[in-house]
Amino acid sequence: MSGEIWNRVLEKLARTGPFREVREGLEGGSVAVHGLRGSLGAFLLAFLVREGKGPRLAIAPEKGAEQLRGDLEVLLGKDMVSYLPPLCLRPGEERLPSLEAVGLRVEALVRLAARRPGVVVVPLGAVAEPTLPPQHMGRYLLRLRVGEEVDMEELMEKLVEGGYERVPMVAAPGQFGVRGGILDVFPFTEGLPVRAEFWGDMVDSLRRFDVSSQRSMEFVDEVLIPPARELVVTEDVWDRLEEEAGRWGLEGLRERASRRAYWEGMEAYLPLVYPERALVLDYLDPGDVVFLEDSERISAEVEEELESLRELGLPLEAFRPSPEEMEDRLNRLRRICHVTFSSHEGEVVRFSSQEPGGFGGDIARARKAVGRWVAEGYRVVVACGHPAQAERVAEALEDEGVEVGVGDLGGGFVFPQGDLVLLTEGEFFRRPFRRSRPPKFQGGTPIPDITALRRGDLVVHEDYGIGRFLGVEGMEVGGVRGDFLIVEYRDGDRLYVPVEQLARVQKYQGLLKIQPPLTKLGGAEWERVKARVKRAARQMAGELLKLYATRMAKPGHAFSPDTPWQAELEFSFPCEETPDQLEAARQIKEDMEQPVPMDRLLCGDVGFGKTEVAIRAAFKAVMDG
């Protein structure tokens, strides 16, 4: 439903003069624009992407880039937007770049290299950072298709050169594992690892699988496997790094490169590794469109980067492009330049937008402003980051003729040329806009059933019962080598459980500190235990159903729906609610409005916002007398 709202807004904006001018201006070259307030710039870019007019790349200061990324994800969908963060790695720093940064960068470069539809958002700090040259990306961008023949040894060699880590069992992006004719690999471009089964040299099947259960999720016909990092380490790379270090008088680096061993922080020397010093701009074809937010800042950003390298005593021309080189690269592209001054020389497409101002949680003030805009002929749309928040805003403004949609947009605007007002949570509440974003790429989460176990711990196998964990051992079965959990049962019998079946084993959790007897393998004892537990569970379920049926039959007090005062109280909280807080408050108030006794427990750790939820419920009760 919310997607339909943003589609309708984009359709309305597409008919406005400034939007048409930008689209037509790109036919002849570059375009300068002025006056894009709030999220209006994201609407312009989303419109152009849908029209097939680009841009391929959107460059903005770091804070603005994060907001632009989030706004475009709302308007275009997350699968159409990539983000290329800076590595923020200086020569001499002994640390690995974060998995999140590496994964996002590889994903963004693959989108550009493969000419996939969508847009890549780049903060200014990443524009001048050297990266893997496009021709090298093409060389190590592997494609597996069902039915095609692939040399397994050559494939594994390229995966290792491309930065993949070989492990017994794949658990995180950037890893691969081989067992007989099966290859598991977790590329950064896939949400799940992929299992390729070979029949000789032919790819027999490809399927995505779940890391924890090892179960297949879906079959695919093709998978793209990019390098796992921008530094592809080959013998030629070592030779060139050693040669370039000697050329620039970096003796410490030359000596280290001669050891032929990767070290943490080596990515900082990317500019010396490849014959061509490539930037993300080199992934664009001449004539591609790039959006520049605050274009005057690019040269200043490059100068700041050069100054920081100068302080380290490094040869600047070896590590970063000059401002002139950056300008040359940009000149071969068509640009949409958002200029900050209306006095900019040359033709400018002017967007007469303004910021709507904030209401600070004052509902009466918000209703008055919205009513005035509606009376003046504006279409008013409110964007909320969570369905519960959208529901609350819709109730507060239900008589004002506004549309409310779910979308975590960064800033509102008033756009007279389109008779449109967009409001966001930032305008409604007494708090600045903050978009929480969990990491997209994370290290492998250890499987609790293994990492929580120590030799001698009791475990329960769902098919064989209680046994004692003796460890993990590698074995070869039927010509295929794999890892097995060893579980000992009564009389010394042993069960060997393949790691692929870990989901069937869990640590024994008893209520009392009494050691239960081990189960006898091959007997009916465990089946009798399971049958007895099932009977007890059914009996308990019946008792609970009877108890709740009795409670539901008794009358309770049905509280009235939320009042305007309730909405005003909730808007006044200074802290941004979490999605769980909003959902808990919504469910509690729904319970309170039912004519039956309420039965709900609110759980949460210290400081997680239980009191704020309770205050809302208490206020609702007080308002009903």
Q: What does the alpha-carbon distance between residue 226 and residue 157 come to, in Å, rounded to a whole number?
A: 14
Contacts of 312 (CB under 8 A, 6+ apart): 90, 91, 92
Which residues belong to CATH 2.40.10.170 in the chain?
448-523
Main-chain dihedrals φ then ψ at residue 249, nearest 5 degrees: 75, 25
Main-chain dihedrals φ then ψ at residue 443, nearest 5 degrees: -65, 160
Q: Are 416 and 559 in contact (CB under 8 A)?
A: no
Which residues belong to CATH 3.30.2060.10 in the chain?
142-225
pLDDT range class, residue 445, cuts 50, 70, 90:
very low
Decide if domain 448-523 falls under CATH 3.40.50.10680.
no
Each residue of 554-602: pLDDT tens digit? 888 888 888 777 777 777 776 777 778 888 888 888 888 888 888 888 8
pLDDT mean across residues, the chain: 85
Q: What does the alpha-carbon distance between residue 500 and residue 400 come to, in Å, rounded to a whole number?
A: 58
Fold of 142-225: Penicillin-binding protein 1b fold (3.30.2060)
Q: Are 101 and 174 in contact (CB under 8 A)?
A: no
Q: How many CB atoms lie within 10 A of CB 303?
A: 13
Mean pLDDT of 179-185: 88
Please name the amino acid found at residue 304: E
Main-chain dihedrals φ then ψ at residue 394, nearest 5 degrees: -60, -40
Q: What does the alpha-carbon distance between residue 441 and residue 462 come to, in Å, rounded to a whole number?
A: 32
Each residue of 184-215: pLDDT tens digit? 999 988 888 999 999 988 999 999 988 877 77
Which residues belong to CATH 3.40.50.300 in the chain?
2-133+269-350
Listed in order, strand segments (DSSP E) in 173-278 are: 175-179, 182-185, 194-199, 202-209, 216-220, 222-225
Lowest average pLDDT, out of 113-122, 345-354, 447-456, 543-552, goes to 447-456
Contacts of 55 (CB under 8 A, 6+ apart): 45, 48, 49, 119, 288, 289, 290, 291, 336
Q: Are 351 and 36 in contact (CB under 8 A)?
A: yes
Tally: H helices and E strands in the chain: 22, 24
Fold of 2-133+269-350: Rossmann fold (3.40.50)
Q: What does the alpha-carbon distance between residue 319 and residue 84 come to, in Å, rounded to a whole number?
A: 19
Q: Are 288 and 334 in contact (CB under 8 A)?
A: yes
Question: 430 pLDDT exceeds 80?
Answer: no
pLDDT of residue 444: 46
Q: What does the alpha-carbon distance between residue 294 and residue 302 come to, in Å, rounded to a whole number?
A: 14
CA 276 from chain centre, in angstroms, equals 31
